[in-house]
Structure 1
Amino acid sequence: MPTDYDAILLVSFGGPEGPDEVIPFMENVTRGRDVPRERLEEVSQHYFGFGGRSPINDQNRALITELEQLLAAEGPDLPVYFGNRNWHPLLPDTLAQMRDDGVRRAICFVTSAYSSYSGCRQYRENLAEARAEVEGAPELDKLRVYYNHPGFLEPQVDFILEALATLPEDARDGAHIVFTTHSIPRTMSRHCDYETQHYEACRIVMELLSERAPLPDGGERPWQLVFNSRSGPEFVPWLEPDVNDHLESLAEQGAPGAVCVPIGFISDHMEVIYDLDVE
């Protein structure tokens, strides 16, 4: 299979891999943003509750291993590199290694499926900055956002069906499907397709779910898109409703059950294992 590229670069957010890395990582993430110190320390405690280690790097390494095996079997047989925006392995270090290995042009897969400043444009900016920092760095092209790709959405249906099967039988048909994603400031949302793309992804998933597991009465399952992990000053409006508030509201309404679907994330990290699994 011919290709114009001689490597793949998996680009991700990054995360600490031990307690000593938590505070430096958080300071790096929040640099230049008006995040209150108490919020930074609060989120740091979330990491300490899991041994100071984010699962995202291990999951990305596992993804790279599976991708390398797939490429070796089906082609193109390209090396896969790993670089992070906010923590080691940092993008400039990875680009320097790629240059030393003779890579001239790479295609970049970013672990963010939707358009937004922090989820798309900032990655492009970071890639450009890293290239400018590393003399002789390879050319880089970024894959498009993939919020509506079948390979991203069809597994969501599998997970929903697995979760529904864990509910009491009399709660399954009336259970609400609660899609959740990382909240962003409304000012940011107005200048990108972040919210629209999420609604489109949810709509497609619900169509696929109805095809695979139609309700006995032929009706539609109730579903909502909600948000988690807001940060920043309280006076700055972010996308709502908050997932915690929404789940409390469903309980007050007497909903028989709910399945929470973290459709905004492609791997577990702190916004999933703490903000959703704990809070």
Structure 2
Amino acid sequence: MALRNPLFYGRRAWSGAATSVRPVASNLLPYNQTRRSGLATAVPPVTQDATGSKGPTAMVFMNMGGPSTTSEVEDFLSRLFADADLIPLGRLQSYLGPLIAKRRTPKIQKQYAEIGGGSPIRKWSEYQCEEMCKILDKISPETAPHKPYVAFRYAAPLTETMYEQLLKDGFGRGRGGRAVAFTQYPQYSCSTTGSSLNELWKWRNRLEGKRANGGQEPVGAIEWSVIDRWQTHPGLVEAFAQNIEAQLATYPEDKRDGVVLLFSAHSLPMSVAATVHAVMQRLKFRNPYRLCWQSQVGPSAWLGAQTSDTVQEYVNRGQTDLILVPIAFTSDHIETLYELDLEVIHEANHPGVKRAESLNGSPVFIQALADIAHEHLRCGEKCSLQMTLRCQGCKSERCLEQKKFFAGEQAAMVV
């Protein structure tokens, strides 16, 4: 249901743009402490002295990000509400965005405090990217070494920080080099992947593009390509399916096939439905299932039904064996750890209502990331053909120029 007042944001409304932490001990360790405990090993810096014929290659994971500490919440929310691609507030965006962020900060800080004091999204993103790059070095030696980077839209490390690090590491500025923007939203949406690509294009222009070179395209700039959607990749489907099966195994065998699977997604991209269908095919459609939506934000109409309402209705009817599956997320964050775990499941107040684990450090998932990246590097495409199409009725010049840049000259006419 749409919110009628753009200044009012319900307790779940804002979080569709955030990312956070699950109340499990291993996930609540501070980032540096987790790294010291051996969760991930550091990857050495890469400079332009590659041994591979097409390397080195920068692999850039793009996501919304989340505040690592409660002190970062206001800056995070300010960037989030200033993004018209995600939350269109009209001509008053520059005024309403900071106002809403400031008013929401105390409440959101309390939510992050309840899930460990910050979001684990950076920890998991850096871990997943590093481990993927190690696999790529083995299966794609011609594009090695592969250097992991993370670019968040609203929290550190921000896109501009990542780009500056690329330049420091020897990419671009006359030295060339290849970089792959790898969205961590498996299902494409202009509000998520599109916003991140717009931000990447902006900083590319400012730091080494026409804006930084007197209106001329520079020689030896970074060569970019994009992995912009991968919602039905077999490895992604398998990782989701295994986590669902693990949770199903906690129910008595005679009840297992009657457990309802509730796939919960950001209330944005309809392509989520394709992922759900693929996962259910892998599970042989043994269980009844539904797709529902969470994290609505802003005054516009959003997809429904809402996850919280769906769970409560089933429980009220006596259907109390439910598994929530965060189908649009590649790791834990505030939507899973607070919204699902501490609100939806808590309010259901029944032991049969559970949640499947997020993908986090799943070896199956990390192998899938490596396989997706390997195929992208092998085929040499700039982006998917689907990405070259603008949304119907889109009037954004920024989106147009961004798509032309990433699609390249051959596909520019399609754009």
TM-score of the aligned structures, taking structure 2 as reference length: 0.58
Choose the corresponding residue for 1:146, options 213, 218, 230: 230
Separation in structure 2 between the aligned mates of residue 39 and residue 226 of structure 1, nearest angstrom: 25
User: SS at 2:182's partner residue?
Assistant: strand
Choose the corresponding residue for 1:115, options 164, 167, 188: 188
Q: Which amino acid aligns with 1:84?
A: F
C-alpha distance after superposition, 1:132-153 (max 9, x if no partner)? 1213662321113011111111
Q: Contact conserved, 2:179 with 2:224, CA < 8 A, in 1?
A: yes
Q: In the superposition, relative to structure 1, how do residues 129 and 29 fare at CA in structure 2: closer, same or farther (>3 Å)?
A: same
Choose the corresponding residue for 1:272, options 318, 333, 336: 336
User: SS at 1:278's partner residue?
Assistant: helix
Matched, 1:253 2:317: yes
The CA deviation at 1:63 is 0.7
Matched, 1:28 2:28: no
Choose the corresponding residue for 1:85, options 128, 131, 153: 153
Aligned equivalent of 2:248: 164
Separation in structure 2 between the aligned mates of residue 142 and residue 99 of structure 1, nearest angstrom: 19
C-alpha distance after superposition, 1:205-224 (max 9, x if no partner)? 111101xxx7xxxxx52110
Larger radius of gyration: 2
Separation in structure 2 between the aligned mates of residue 11 and residue 127 of structure 1, nearest angstrom: 9
Q: Contact conserved, 1:9 with 1:82, CA < 8 A, in 2?
A: yes
Separation in structure 1 between the aligned mates of residue 126 and residue 248 of structure 2, nearest angstrom: 30
The CA deviation at 1:15 is 1.6
Aligned equivalent of 2:37: none
The CA deviation at 1:269 is 1.0
User: SS at 1:60's partner residue?
Assistant: helix
Choose the corresponding residue for 1:230, options 279, 284, 296: 296
Choose the corresponding residue for 1:135, options 188, 208, 215: 208
Aligned equivalent of 2:287: 221
Q: Contact conserved, 1:46 with 1:274, CA < 8 A, in 2?
A: yes
C-alpha distance after superposition, 1:42-78 (max 9, x if no partner)? 3333113234310100001111221132123323322
Matched, 1:53 2:118: yes
C-alpha distance after superposition, 1:57-101 (max 9, x if no partner)? 000111122113212332332212222211211111211221222
The CA deviation at 1:6 is 2.7
The CA deviation at 1:105 is 2.3
The CA deviation at 1:256 is 4.8
Aligned equivalent of 1:239: 303
**Unmatched 5+ stretches in structure 1:** 185-193, 215-219
- Identity percentage over the alignment? 29
User: SS at 1:166's partner residue?
Assistant: coil
Separation in structure 2 between the aligned mates of residue 140 and residue 231 of structure 1, nearest angstrom: 32
User: SS at 1:264's partner residue?
Assistant: coil
Separation in structure 2 between the aligned mates of residue 238 and residue 75 of structure 1, nearest angstrom: 42
**Unmatched 5+ stretches in structure 2:** 1-51, 90-96, 172-176, 210-220, 344-415
Matched, 1:44 2:109: yes
User: SS at 1:10's partner residue?
Assistant: strand
Q: Which amino acid aligns with 1:52?
A: G
Aligned equivalent of 2:410: none
Aligned equivalent of 2:61: 10
- How many correspondences in the alignment? 259
Separation in structure 2 between the aligned mates of residue 23 and residue 16 of structure 1, nearest angstrom: 9
Separation in structure 2 between the aligned mates of residue 149 and residue 275 of structure 1, nearest angstrom: 27
Separation in structure 2 between the aligned mates of residue 19 and residue 42 of structure 1, nearest angstrom: 11
Aligned equivalent of 2:139: 74
Q: In the superposition, relative to structure 1, how do residues 159 and 95 fare at CA in structure 2: closer, same or farther (>3 Å)?
A: same
Separation in structure 2 between the aligned mates of residue 24 and residue 113 of structure 1, nearest angstrom: 26
Q: Contact conserved, 1:14 with 1:57, CA < 8 A, in 2?
A: yes
Separation in structure 1 between the aligned mates of residue 54 and residue 291 of structure 2, nearest angstrom: 39
Aligned equivalent of 1:191: none
Aligned equivalent of 2:359: none
TM-score of the aligned structures, taking structure 1 as reference length: 0.85
User: SS at 2:254's partner residue?
Assistant: helix
Q: In the superposition, relative to structure 1, how do residues 30 and 44 fare at CA in structure 2: closer, same or farther (>3 Å)?
A: farther
Q: Contact conserved, 2:126 with 2:148, CA < 8 A, in 1?
A: no
Q: In the superposition, relative to structure 1, how do residues 225 and 39 fare at CA in structure 2: closer, same or farther (>3 Å)?
A: farther
Q: Which amino acid aligns with 2:225?
A: D
C-alpha distance after superposition, 1:112-138 (max 9, x if no partner)? 111212222112101101101213662
Aligned equivalent of 1:180: 264
Q: Which amino acid aligns with 1:63?
A: Q
User: SS at 2:199's partner residue?
Assistant: helix
